[in-house]
């Protein structure tokens, strides 16, 4: 790839000092680790040779890692896990304990409930004060003392004990069996783990019994109060009955018989209520005295035989794998050092790295306490490295190194973040990628939905009379006459005798008939111009009333009113998506709508040389005049009857991107220069560099090359920088160096943004400046991104907890352009899953997925189906769940019956999973989908249409097919059309293909005029599809 510079635009010269990085930046590439010479192909044998030469290093490091893992595992205290299983009985159908059982039945996840109870202070405090045997023959001591919890006060010791004990307890239940619970307790003693688990289950049972007894007592008290009230009402009813009988011992009439029946019913009702309450009272008393729990122990906890952690073999296996990987990397790194140790530039860079990074690290390391294991690994690894390095040096002295003149060295330093550091191929590819993402200027103007275009009023000054128009010519004033005439194909009208004659005044006699006026030619005239031509023709027989040279002095006036318009027919050819013949209403007959009907212009079509051929000649339009300036004769954009629109191919396209106001791909004409292109793009942004622009050009002889441009000199000297097809112009931003600010990013900071750098400002000062940290900030780590003088960057890890403690190692002094990144817990540890709800619901959106959440839970909270009016408008026969498949990219559809879900059907109330999409439909939406048909293929107006009662195939084609246009009909494949219909086969829906003869249908064959059904799809074909 060559690089040329225009003679009018010399290079921007940079000093050597500006080009060199101010700090060492060492970059390793994969080629640096290749053992062969530079430029050689990558060989598997070369890799194997390196591994064989360093085999003792690899074996030694792997062995040391395994030994270290073994020692680490043995030094860790053993932990034992005891588990117990119990069942929570489902007693929702029983009467006694009804209130508490209903509460338990309402729980969606019993495991989560009992875990909360087990972690409550009431349960944990009692368990901590419980005494246990550790070891078995020792004196029982409280669990709080066994756990060795320390604290200044008893309350602090108890609080820490609760926290430690809750961390050792885990209560789970399987999704398929929510009432089956598994309790796991982990401690340092197997006997203690089993005892704690069993004791915890006992306390849960006691809690359950106490809760049930308390509810039963409250129920007993409530029933006793109700019985006292019912007894009073029963006595009142009996007294009323006895009094009535005493007053009416003799004969009773019909009215008294009805009153007696009413009193008898009242007494019977109160007796039934009294007896029912007495039964309930007895049941409540039984529940109070019955000490039964809903928890049944299936498998009690027993002391485990083996420890659960640490797992020595697993730790050793993992350490062996990690040690193997690290030793292989170290082997290739040593091979690289052997290769470049005679490179002076490399050695100088290593000295810089040691000075800037290594010494500081060693000073900090000396201040830290190193474990004996790490010292052993360090000594062993150093010995192996020294032995291997000595062996490599011996091999080198034996002649395995090349002469300095034959050796090719890899550059040891590379500047990152500036244009000079980017390889030419990568730089060019980045520019080309930006170019591919840019739109073509002006083409989106034709992306119009032609089905929504509605005709409007006619402009009398611009509309040209066309064949087939019908005109109403009115003469009014001292003489009143009307002519209704049609415009002939030769664009003339014939004015015969008046079609209606009436006197100027009601009492005036009718006038005598006049001879024919004859033909009046109106070709190429607007309505206003036609009025003048008709007035001149009528003046030959009505000269006493009409003077065409002085219309204001005439005693009669002429008005021409169109009563019928013929559609403007035109032909579109060239680089359009759908060439052919089209028709437009006269009010829509402009170039934009005409090309939109043809599908718009292809990317290869020109906007600068659109030709309109008509009887008066050819008009060539430059659409950029209209797009960029809004100029041009608007009458030239008006489409006339029988016009031919031709869109040629564009010959030159140039892209401009970067710091311009409207980056895009532009079509340029011969003679247009770089400055014209900048003007098309809206000019330069204020941030644009006037000294630096770049043209990427593909030359047929030299290939790809780049041209530097000084825009300021080009503008001052008015140099005509010519452009070629395919050029990519990139305008770079101005270099603005800011050194007086620091910034904070991330949702973990209260007010992220840029802040002024003050003297002696540290990380904690910056955190206070931004308003502190949010509650979800991730404290164990933040990143400080520091920018060097050469604009290279490096990371420094910071512990925000130690920053708050004013640890100088983390609460460091800030420098110019430092950036502090504060993460959130959700970003680091991940957040809970979400599900989305959409469609005919009151609160659509994304919601957090909680453990045990089911479909009804989401619909109950966000669907709004408690509103009867909303429910009536809902399609309850079906809803959809779109669930991610196992590949994580595609989705599968799960249908459910919404009516059954809302009614509480457990089979339809499926559990939700992460990223589920729930869709609810409205009744109106489903009714609309079931009463539509689709037309596609070779039709003027394809799309979905409402299915009307009794609608047939020809009715649809009359509306949307467009076969009244003979030219369009000629382009259709008349021998065949397809109708795709859904038919039911048992419980499944299948697609059925019905063929018909389109030509016979258009000729009126009733056998081909099929009746349409809901969801039918009609497909028409073009003749070109079968060539």
Q: Domain tally for the chain?
A: 7
Look at residues 453, 425, 715 and name the one whose alpha carbon lies nearest to residue 596.
Answer: 453
pLDDT band at 339 (very low <50, low <70, confident <90, very high): low
Determine how many CB atoms are found less than 10 A away from the CB of residue 546.
Answer: 24
Domain boundary among 771, 796, 824: 824
Angle between helices 98-105 and 190-247 (to 10 degrees): 130
CATH of residue 890: 3.10.560.10
Instruction: Tell me if 711 is assigned to some domain.
Output: no
Determine how many CB atoms are found less than 10 A away from the CB of residue 48.
Answer: 10
846 and 802 in a single domain? The answer is: no
* Rounded distance between C-alpha atoms, residue 806 and residue 746, angstroms: 22
> pLDDT at residue 507 above 70?
no
Q: Quick one: pLDDT at residue 776?
A: 87
Q: Quick one: pLDDT at residue 945?
A: 87
85 and 212 in a single domain? The answer is: yes
Instruction: Tell me if 455 is assigned to some domain.
Output: no
pLDDT band at 253 (very low <50, low <70, confident <90, very high): low
* Rounded distance between C-alpha atoms, residue 369 and residue 401, angstroms: 42
HSE-up of residue 278 (Cα within 13 Å, Cβ side): 8
Domain boundary among 803, 824, 845: 824
- The secondary element (H helix, E strand) that includes residue 692 is strand 688-699
Instruction: Tell me if 545 is assigned to some domain.
Output: yes
Dihedral over alpha carbons 1011, 1012, 1017, 1023 (to 10 degrees): 30
* Rounded distance between C-alpha atoms, residue 938 and residue 1019, angstroms: 8
Determine how many CB atoms are found less than 10 A away from the CB of residue 162.
Answer: 20
> pLDDT at residue 498 above 80?
no
For 38-52, write each residue's pLDDT tens digit. 434 445 777 788 888
894 and 946 in a single domain? The answer is: no
Look at residues 276, 623, 264, 313 and name the one whose alpha carbon lies nearest to residue 440.
Answer: 623
Q: Which residue has the tokens 């999409």?
A: 917
Instruction: Tell me if 694 is assigned to some domain.
Output: no
Q: Is 871 in a helix, a strand, or coil?
A: helix
Asked if residue 264 lies in contact with residue 240, where contact means CB atoms within 8 angstroms, the answer is: no
The pair of structure tokens assigned to 957 is: 């084609």
163 and 112 in a single domain? The answer is: yes
- The secondary element (H helix, E strand) that includes residue 597 is helix 591-597
Asked if residue 817 lies in contact with residue 787, where contact means CB atoms within 8 angstroms, the answer is: yes
pLDDT band at 520 (very low <50, low <70, confident <90, very high): confident
For residue 310, whether the previous peptide bond is cis, meaning omega lies within 30 degrees of 0, is yes
Q: Quick one: pLDDT at residue 806?
A: 92
Secondary structure (DSSP) of 556-614: EEEEEEEEE---EEEEEEESBSS-EEEEE-GGG-BHHHHHHHTT-B-TTB-SS-EEEEE
The more confident residue out of 1017 and 701 is 1017
* Rounded distance between C-alpha atoms, residue 72 and residue 316, angstroms: 10
Q: Which residue has the tokens 């003799």?
A: 250
Determine how many CB atoms are found less than 10 A away from the CB of residue 73.
Answer: 18
Q: Quick one: pLDDT at residue 645?
A: 93
Average pLDDT over residues 772-788: 90
Partners of residue 186 on adjacent β-strands: 81
Partners of residue 936 on adjacent β-strands: 1019
* Rounded distance between C-alpha atoms, residue 165 and residue 127, angstroms: 9
Determine how many CB atoms are found less than 10 A away from the CB of residue 84.
Answer: 20
For 638-674, write each residue's pLDDT tens digit. 888 888 999 999 989 999 998 899 999 999 988 899 9
Question: Is beta strand 728-733 parallel, antiparallel or unpaired with respect to 688-699?
Answer: antiparallel
Instruction: Tell me the residue range of the domain where 957 lies.
Output: 933-1026
For 828-861, write each residue's pLDDT tens digit. 876 667 899 999 999 999 888 887 889 999 999 9
Look at residues 105, 299, 127 and name the one whose alpha carbon lies nearest to residue 207.
Answer: 127
Q: Quick one: pLDDT at residue 803?
A: 93
Listed in sequence order, the residues at least 6 apart from 48 whose beta carbon sits closer than 8 Å to its beta carbon are: none
The pair of structure tokens assigned to 799 is: 């512990």
> pLDDT at residue 968 above 60?
yes
Distances in Å between the Cα of 352 and the Cα atoms of 19, 355, 654, 794 are 18, 5, 47, 15
Instruction: Tell me if 953 is assigned to some domain.
Output: yes
* Rounded distance between C-alpha atoms, residue 946 and residue 959, angstroms: 11
HSE-up of residue 574 (Cα within 13 Å, Cβ side): 22
> pLDDT at residue 594 above 70?
yes
476 and 591 in a single domain? The answer is: no
588 and 547 in a single domain? The answer is: no
Q: How far, rounded to the nearest angstrom, does the alpha carbon of residue 195 sit from its chain's CA centroid?
A: 52
Q: How far, rounded to the nearest angstrom, does the alpha carbon of residue 1000 sit from its chain's CA centroid?
A: 49
Domain boundary among 878, 912, 927: 927
Q: Where are the alpha helices (DSSP H) in 702-824?
A: 711-717, 763-769, 800-804
Please calculate the CA angle 469-470-471 and round it to the nearest 5 degrees.
115
Instruction: Give the single-character DSSP code of 58.
Output: H
Listed in sequence order, the residues at least 6 apart from 429 whose beta carbon sits closer than 8 Å to its beta carbon are: none
For residue 206, whether the previous peptide bond is cis, meaning omega lies within 30 degrees of 0, is no
* Rounded distance between C-alpha atoms, residue 778 and residue 772, angstroms: 13
The pair of structure tokens assigned to 318 is: 């993992």
> pLDDT at residue 353 above 80?
no
CATH of residue 204: 3.30.1890.10
67 and 103 in a single domain? The answer is: no
Q: Quick one: pLDDT at residue 739?
A: 62
* Rounded distance between C-alpha atoms, residue 336 and residue 345, angstroms: 15
351 and 385 in a single domain? The answer is: yes
Give the range among 283-292, 436-445, 705-714, 888-897 with minimum mean pLDDT: 283-292
* Rounded distance between C-alpha atoms, residue 816 and residue 928, angstroms: 63
Instruction: Tell me if 333 is assigned to some domain.
Output: yes
Give the range among 3-17, 378-392, 774-788 with minimum mean pLDDT: 3-17
Q: Quick one: pLDDT at residue 407?
A: 37
pLDDT band at 426 (very low <50, low <70, confident <90, very high): low
Question: Is beta strand 782-787 parallel, antiparallel or unpaired with respect to 753-756?
Answer: unpaired
Average pLDDT over residues 606-618: 88
* Rounded distance between C-alpha atoms, residue 73 and residue 312, angstroms: 6
Instruction: Tell me if 417 is assigned to some domain.
Output: no
The pair of structure tokens assigned to 464 is: 């040209």
Q: Quick one: pLDDT at residue 514?
A: 52
* Rounded distance between C-alpha atoms, residue 454 and residue 593, angstroms: 11
* Rounded distance between C-alpha atoms, residue 656 and residue 663, angstroms: 6
**Residue 668 burial (CB < 10 Å; 0-12/13-18/19+)?**
buried
Instruction: Give the single-character DSSP code of 629.
Output: I
Entry pTM? 0.36
Look at residues 723, 702, 729 and name the one whose alpha carbon lies nearest to residue 652.
Answer: 723
Residue 197, sorted as left (phi over 0), alpha (psi -120 to 50) or beta, turns out to be alpha
> pLDDT at residue 420 above 50?
no
Q: Quick one: pLDDT at residue 699?
A: 80
Q: Which residue has the tokens 């330093």?
A: 413
For 923-932, write each residue's pLDDT tens digit. 776 665 567 8
Across 51-65, 455-469, 724-738, the highest mean pLDDT is recorded for 51-65
Q: Quick one: pLDDT at residue 918?
A: 93
Across 25-29, 162-166, 290-294, the highest mean pLDDT is recorded for 162-166
Listed in sequence order, the residues at least 6 apart from 529 whose beta carbon sits closer than 8 Å to its beta carbon are: 522
Q: What is the radius of gyration, based on Cα positions, of the chain?
A: 46
Instruction: Tell me if 778 is assigned to some domain.
Output: yes
Mean pLDDT of the chain: 77
pLDDT band at 773 (very low <50, low <70, confident <90, very high): very high
Average pLDDT over residues 784-808: 88
Give the range among 41-50, 242-251, 527-536, 777-786 with minimum mean pLDDT: 41-50
The pair of structure tokens assigned to 617 is: 């000649």
Asked if residue 196 lies in contact with residue 127, where contact means CB atoms within 8 angstroms, the answer is: yes
Question: Is beta strand 834-839 parallel, antiparallel or unpaired with respect to 917-922?
Answer: parallel
642 and 572 in a single domain? The answer is: yes
pLDDT band at 355 (very low <50, low <70, confident <90, very high): low
95 and 190 in a single domain? The answer is: yes
Question: Is beta strand 845-848 parallel, antiparallel or unpaired with respect to 492-495?
Answer: unpaired
Total length of the chain: 1027
Q: Quick one: pLDDT at residue 574?
A: 92
The pair of structure tokens assigned to 58 is: 């690899």
> pLDDT at residue 811 above 50?
yes
604 and 557 in a single domain? The answer is: no
Distances in Å between the Cα of 389 and the Cα atoms of 331, 383, 396 are 11, 10, 10
573 phi and psi angles, rounded to 5 deg: -135, 165
For 14-40, write each residue's pLDDT tens digit. 333 333 333 333 333 334 444 444 434
Q: Quick one: pLDDT at residue 13?
A: 31
Asked if residue 581 lies in contact with residue 972, where contact means CB atoms within 8 angstroms, the answer is: no
For 668-692, write each residue's pLDDT tens digit. 988 899 999 999 999 998 888 888 8
Q: How far, rounded to the nearest angstrom, does the alpha carbon of residue 621 sit from its chain's CA centroid?
A: 42
**Residue 87 burial (CB < 10 Å; 0-12/13-18/19+)?**
middle
914 and 1022 in a single domain? The answer is: no
């Amino acid at each position: 790839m060559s690089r040329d510079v225009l003679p009018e635009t010399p290079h921007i010269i940079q000093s050597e000092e500006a080009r060199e990085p101010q700090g060492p930046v060492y970059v390793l590439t994969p080629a640096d680790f290749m053992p062969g010479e530079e430029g050689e192909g990558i060989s598997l044998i070369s890799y194997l040779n390196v591994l064989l030469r360093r085999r003792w290093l690899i074996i030694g490091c792997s062995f040391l890692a395994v030994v270290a893992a073994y020692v680490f595992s043995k030094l860790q205290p053993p932990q034992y896990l005891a588990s117990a299983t119990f069942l929570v009985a489902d007693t929702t159908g029983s009467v006694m304990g009804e209130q508490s059982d209903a509460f338990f039945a309402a729980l969606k996840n019993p495991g989560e409930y009992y875990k909360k109870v087990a972690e409550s202070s009431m349960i944990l405090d009692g368990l901590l004060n419980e005494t246990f045997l550790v070891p078995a023959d020792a004196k029982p001591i409280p669990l709080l003392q066994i756990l060795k919890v320390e604290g200044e006060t008893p309350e602090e010791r108890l609080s820490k004990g609760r926290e430690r004990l809750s961390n050792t307890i885990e209560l789970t239940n399987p999704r398929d069996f929510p009432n089956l619970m598994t309790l796991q307790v982990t401690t340092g003693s197997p006997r203690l783990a089993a005892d704690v688990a069993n004791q915890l289950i006992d306390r849960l049972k006691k809690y359950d019994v106490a809760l049930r007894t308390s509810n039963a007592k409250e129920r007993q008290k409530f029933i006793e109060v109700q019985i006292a009230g019912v007894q009073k009402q029963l006595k009142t009813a009996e007294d009323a009955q006895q009094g009535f009988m005493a007053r009416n011992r003799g004969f009773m009439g019909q009215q008294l018989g009805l009153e007696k029946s009413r009193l008898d019913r009242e007494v019977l009702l109160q007796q039934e209520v009294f007896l029912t309450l007495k039964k309930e009272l007895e049941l409540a008393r039984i529940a109070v005295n019955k000490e039964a729990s809903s928890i049944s122990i299936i498998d009690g906890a027993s002391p485990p035989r083996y420890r659960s952690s640490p797992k020595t073999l697993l730790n050793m296996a993992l350490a062996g794998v990690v040690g193997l990987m690290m030793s292989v990397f170290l082997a290739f790194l040593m091979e690289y050092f052997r290769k470049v140790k005679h490179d002076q530039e490399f050695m100088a860079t290593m000295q810089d790295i040691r000075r800037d990074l290594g010494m500081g690290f060693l000073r900090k390391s000396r201040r830290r306490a190193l474990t004996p294991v790490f010292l052993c690994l360090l000594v062993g690894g150093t010995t192996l490295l020294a032995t291997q390095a000595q062996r490599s040096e011996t091999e080198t002295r034996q002649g395995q190194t090349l002469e300095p003149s034959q050796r090719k060295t890899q550059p040891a330093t590379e500047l990152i973040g500036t244009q000079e550091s980017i390889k030419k191929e990568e730089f060019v590819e980045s520019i080309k990628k930006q170019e591919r993402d840019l739109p073509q200027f002006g083409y989106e103007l034709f992306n119009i939905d032609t089905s929504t275009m509605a005709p409007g009023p006619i402009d009398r000054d611009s509309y040209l009379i066309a064949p087939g128009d019908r005109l109403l010519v009115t003469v009014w004033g001292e003489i009143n006459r009307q002519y209704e005439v049609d415009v002939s194909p030769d664009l003339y009208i014939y004015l015969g005798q008046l079609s209606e004659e009436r006197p100027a005044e009601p009492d005036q006699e009718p006038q005598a008939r006049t001879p024919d006026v004859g033909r009046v030619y109106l070709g190429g005239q607007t309505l206003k111009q036609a009025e003048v031509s008709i007035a001149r023709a009528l003046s030959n027989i009505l000269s006493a009333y009409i003077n065409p040279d002085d219309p204001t002095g005439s005693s009669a006036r002429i008005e021409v009113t169109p009563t019928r318009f013929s559609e403007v027919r035109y032909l579109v050819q060239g680089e359009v998506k759908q060439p052919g013949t089209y028709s437009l209403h006269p009010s829509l007959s402009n170039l934009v709508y005409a090309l939109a009907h043809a599908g718009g212009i292809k990317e290869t079509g020109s906007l600068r040389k659109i030709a309109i051929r008509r009887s008066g000649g050819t008009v060539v339009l430059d659409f950029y005049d209209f797009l960029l300036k809004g100029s041009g004769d608007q009458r030239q954009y008006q489409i006339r009857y029988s016009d031919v629109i031709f869109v040629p191919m564009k010959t030159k396209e140039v892209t401009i991107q970067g710091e311009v106001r409207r980056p895009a791909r532009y079509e340029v004409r011969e003679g247009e220069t770089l400055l014209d292109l900048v003007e098309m793009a809206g000019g330069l942004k204020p941030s644009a560099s006037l000294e630096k622009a770049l043209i990427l050009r593909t030359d047929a002889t030299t290939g790809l090359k780049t041209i530097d441009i000084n825009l300021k000199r080009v503008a001052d000297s008015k140099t005509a920088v010519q452009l070629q097809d395919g050029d990519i112009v990139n305008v770079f931003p101005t270099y603005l160096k800011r050194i007086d600010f620091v910034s904070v990013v991330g949702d973990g900071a209260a007010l992220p943004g840029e802040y002024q750098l003050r003297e002696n400002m540290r990380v904690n000062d910056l955190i206070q400046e931004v308003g502190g940290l949010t509650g979800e900030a991730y404290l164990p780590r933040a990143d400080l991104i520091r920018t060097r003088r050469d604009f290279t960057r490096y990371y420094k890890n910071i512990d925000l907890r130690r920053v708050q403690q004013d640890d100088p190692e983390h609460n460091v002094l800030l420098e110019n352009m430092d950036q502090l990144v504060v993460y959130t817990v959700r970003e680091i540890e991940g957040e809970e899953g979400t599900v989305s709800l959409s469609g005919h619901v009151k609160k659509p959106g994304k919601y957090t997925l909680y453990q045990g959440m089911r479909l009804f839970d989401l619909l109950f909270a966000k669907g709004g189906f408690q509103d009867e009016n909303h429910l009536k408008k809902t399609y309850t026969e079906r809803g959809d769940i779109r669930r991610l498949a196992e590949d994580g990219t595609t989705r599968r559809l799960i249908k459910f019956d919404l009516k059954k879900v809302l009614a509480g059907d457990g089979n339809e109330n499926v559990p939700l999973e992460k990223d589920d999409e729930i869709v609810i439909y409205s009744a109106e939406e489903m009714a609309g989908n079931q009463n539509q048909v689709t037309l596609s293929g070779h039709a003027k107006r394809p799309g979905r249409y409402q299915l009307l009662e009794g609608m047939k195939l020809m009715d649809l084609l009359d509306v949307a097919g467009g076969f009244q246009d003979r030219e369009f009909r000629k382009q259709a494949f008349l021998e065949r059309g397809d109708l795709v219909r859904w038919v039911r086969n048992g419980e499944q829906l299948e697609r059925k293909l019905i063929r018909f003869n389109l030509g016979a249908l258009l000729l009126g064959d009733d056998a081909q005029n099929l009746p349409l059904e809901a969801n039918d799809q009609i497909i028409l074909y073009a003749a070109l599809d079968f060539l």
